[in-house]
Structure formats: structure tokens, C-alpha cells
Structure 1
Amino acid sequence: MNDTTTHNTPAAGWSGNPVAVITGASQGLGLALARGLAERGWSLVIDARTPDKLAAADYELSKLTTVIALAGDVTDDDHRADLAEAAADLGGASLLVNNASALGGSPMPALAAFPLPDLLATFEVNVLAPLALAQLLLPQLREHGGEIVNISSDAAVEPYAGWGGYGASKAALDHASAILALEEPKVRVWAVDPGDLRTQMHQDAFPGEDISDLPLPETVVPGFLRLIDERRPSGRYQASDLLPAAPAAVADAEVA
């Protein structure tokens, strides 16, 4: 853990230093979101399964804000309890980002040959763990009128061969998010599809293929920040729909 004093402006609508818990924050989208929030003065509780990568993220982010980095697996009961306790120590979570996800295999198996232990593990990471962590953090989130971001996928709504395990788990998470939103009126619950990004997970989904044409995770962070800033209603969103319009697009719209 590295504690530093930040001089950044907190996110709109908040006073003091709001606290975000972000899982899978050592790389990819999780790290990009952590960086975006840190630059706005959010305090962070982050985790990842790989200690060395998490330590590198901790080192970077701690230059911007207060960070508690805990290595561990989101499917572990004790680890989730540690994350909730760390958030409480910082004043209580205002935001939970359930970003940690599992593909189920690389390359991903067809459903007819999907090893059931691997399928179970996929659902444990992608559905059970996010809900279990939400249960622990809901008292803090209710107190702060906070939000939950569950990272979804287009595979949750579109059938792609080979994506059955991952897609089914994300579809379950989407539905659970919608129900949780109805049951928790003091907390906004968003399922967000970030789109196809240049991440290690996407590379694992297409082993040996060139994914250099995909956008970096940093490109969609403004969409997530807009969602948080505007405190939009609970629901399912696509990050691309939340991105600011390009100047040329705005000019065209004005002319039309």
C-alpha cells in the first residue's frame, strides 16, 4: 500500500476523495479505469491475481492518489472480505467496478466440448464473484449513494460460436445487474459493454491473431467517466455510445 496526498479535482458530484474498488486492475481496462479515476482524485482499492503486475500498477497509481493493492482471486471469500475492509478503512466505497473476468479457455472451447469444471470456474469469476463482492460492499455503497459497474460484453446479447461459456456468464451478469438495480434503489447498477479492445484477454480469445487494429482500453475511459459524472439511471450501456462526439461529427450534426 502506498498513500500519497493528491491535488487532483474529485469527480463531479462528489466531495472529498471518493473510494472506488476495481477488480482485475493490473492491466487492460481495469488499469485504464483506475488511472482515469486516480487522475480525478479517487482513492482506490485494486486487486489482481498476479502480484508483480499489481505491484507495478500500485507503483504507478500511487503517484496520483491513495491506493490499497491486494493480490488475490475474486472467487476467494477471504480476499473479497479484505477488499471490503480496505474500502471501509478509506471511508467506504462509492463505486465498485467488477472488471475481473474469465474466458473459460484459450482458445475457447465449443459448448459441446466445454470441460464442466472450466465452465463452472467461468461462472464463478464472471457471475458469482461480482455478486458476492457487491453483497459485501452494498452497505457502503448505500451510504454513499454509490454505483456498481459490471463489465459486460456484446457476447452477452449476440451468439458467437466459441463464446458460449463466456457469453452465457455475461448474460447472467447482465440480468443479475438489472434485478439488483430494482432491488437497490439507493445504488445505481450499470452493465457496460466496453467493446472490442486491445487487451490481453482479447488476445487470449484469439491466440496467434493480430489484434493491433483494435483500440486501446484508454479510448473508452471517457465514456465510463461520463456515466459516473452524469450519474445516469441504472441499465445496460455501450461505452462507445457514451464517448464525446468527434468535432467533425458535431459539425455535421449542426449543419444537418
Structure 2
Amino acid sequence: MKTALITGASRGLGLALAKALADDGWSLVLTARGEEDLFSAAFDLDATAIAGDVTDPAHVARLAAAAPELDLLVNNAGDLGPVPLPPLSCLPLDALRRLFETNVIAPLALVQATLPTLRRRKGAVLGITSDAAVEAYEGWGGYGTTKAALDQMSHVLAAEERDLAVWWVDPGEMSTRMLADAVGPEEAASAASPASVAAELARLVTIRPESGRLTKEALAAVTTGARE
């Protein structure tokens, strides 16, 4: 049985992907900060739940120890930063530091902690990025800067760890609490469902294409082509 470690797994895309992988027979280690939602999800999916903050080195060590035979690391947990989203001229620098801790440093810490087993099992790393990493959206400078850093970090990881599959995926807007916080609940409600994106990500993991950055269009093309 293959094992996946998913961060930010108590709701949104993380939870939807956990459900999709569970349906495919994966064993799961799930983490998030919200204990109640996390433990409820883990109970439903017969998964291991370890609540905590991915920016905490001790928590990262606990996660790695809970998955000694790991096939897939999903760096999904992310922080949006202050809302309403401020322009760069008003972005508190402490808030930007926290964004880098959650969106860049924590994913690398998890990669470093799990690399021995990922190398041994020729596993995969899936990072969730954003079009804010490559487009100039007013107010999204802090978040987008961290996602740009995640993109480049993933790109280099793919070059350094050629036996692994490394994907950094921009899934587009999804109807999540994070998007609602950024743009309002009405606009967020019209976005794609996390479940539909999770289904494509689960197929991506099964197909295992070469490492690289995938937009929502590229993800759909890869997974649709594999079904035909």
C-alpha cells in the first residue's frame, strides 16, 4: 500500500485530495492546525492525524516519523497573509516573514525530513502553487512572492532529485475558505470545487508524468489524455 503525507488536510483541497487518494487505496498521514476538523476527517478516512503547525520543526519531525515509508508528499498548507489583501507599500514585514515560513520554508523542511524514504521508494512531491506567482495582481504581492519562491524551489528540487517526480501545480481558483477571505464569498462560490481539482491531482499521481509546473489547463490536458 502506498502512503501519502498531506498538509493542510482538514478542509479545502487538502481534504478533497485525501478523500480521492483514500478512494484509490492510499494510506494517509494528515496534518493541519485545526484539531477538530482534522481528527474528524482522519476518522472518516481511516487515516493518521497529527495536528500542528508546519512551521514548527518538532511537528515536522513528528510527521516524518509517522511516515517512514512515504511515496507522496503533498505540500498543500498555505497562508494568505493579512486580509483585506494590502498593497506592497502597506504589507507588514512581519507578515511577509510569516508567509515565507509557511509557504516556502515549511515545505522545504518537510522535503528535507522525508527525502530519505522518498528517495528509497522513488516517490513524488506535489506542491500547490498559484497564478499569483507569475501574474501581477494588486494586493497579492506577498502571497504571490512566496509562491514564486515555491515554484523555483520545486524546479531546482526536480533538477537535483531526478529519481523523484516533482510537480508544482497551479489549480486555479477554487471554492475554498482561503479564496473567500481574499475575494469575498460570492466570487469564491463560483470557482471550481476542490473535489474536481483533487480528482485530477489523484490521476496525476497515478499517471506520474515528468516533473514540472502544471497550470490548471495543463493538468486537465495530462489527466484527460491519460483517460483516452
Greater fraction helix: 2
Partner of 2:37: 53
Deviation at 1:241, TM superposition (A): 2.8
TM-score w.r.t. the length of structure 1 is 0.84
Q: Could you say what secondary structure the match of 1:211 adopts?
A: helix
**1:219 matched to 2:196:** yes
Q: Could you say what secondary structure the match of 2:189 adopts?
A: coil
Deviation at 1:160, TM superposition (A): 0.3
Partner of 2:64: 84
Instruction: After TM superposition, list the pairs within 5 Å mapping 1:96-111 onto structure 2.
Output: 96-111=73-88
Comparing 118-127 with 224-233, which one deviates more in the overlay? Answer: 224-233
2:10 corresponds to which letter in structure 1? S
Deviation at 1:222, TM superposition (A): 2.5
Report runs of 4+ in structure 1 exceeding 6 Å deviation.
none
Q: Aligned partners of 1:21 and 1:213: how far apart in 2?
A: 29
2:200 corresponds to which letter in structure 1? G
Q: Aligned partners of 2:126 and 2:163: how far apart in 1?
A: 15
Q: Could you say what secondary structure the match of 1:93 adopts?
A: coil
**1:167 matched to 2:147:** no
Partner of 1:239: 216
TM-score w.r.t. the length of structure 2 is 0.94
Instruction: Please report the RMSD computed on the Cα atoms of aligned residues, expressed in angstroms.
Output: 1.5
Q: Aligned partners of 2:115 and 2:198: how far apart in 1?
A: 24
CA deviation vs aligned residue, 1:163-218 (integer Å, no higher than 9, x gap): 00000000000000000111111111110011100001101112454422112100
Partner of 1:204: 181
**1:73 matched to 2:73:** no
**1:26 matched to 2:43:** no
- Structure 2 segments unaligned to the other structure (5+ residues): none
Name the count of aligned residue pairs.
224
**1:189 matched to 2:172:** no
**1:143 matched to 2:123:** no
Q: Aligned partners of 1:202 and 1:60: how far apart in 2?
A: 25
Contact 2:129–2:168 under 8 Å retained in 1: yes
Q: Aligned partners of 2:146 and 2:195: how far apart in 1?
A: 25
Deviation at 1:231, TM superposition (A): 1.0
Match of 2:28 among 44, 65, 69: 44
CA deviation vs aligned residue, 1:69-109 (integer Å, no higher than 9, x gap): 01100000000000000001xxx110000000001111111
CA deviation vs aligned residue, 1:34-71 (integer Å, no higher than 9, x gap): 00001111101110001111111112211xxxx11011
Q: Aligned partners of 2:75 and 2:114: how far apart in 1?
A: 12
- Structure 1 segments unaligned to the other structure (5+ residues): 1-16, 251-256
* Percent pairwise identity: 50
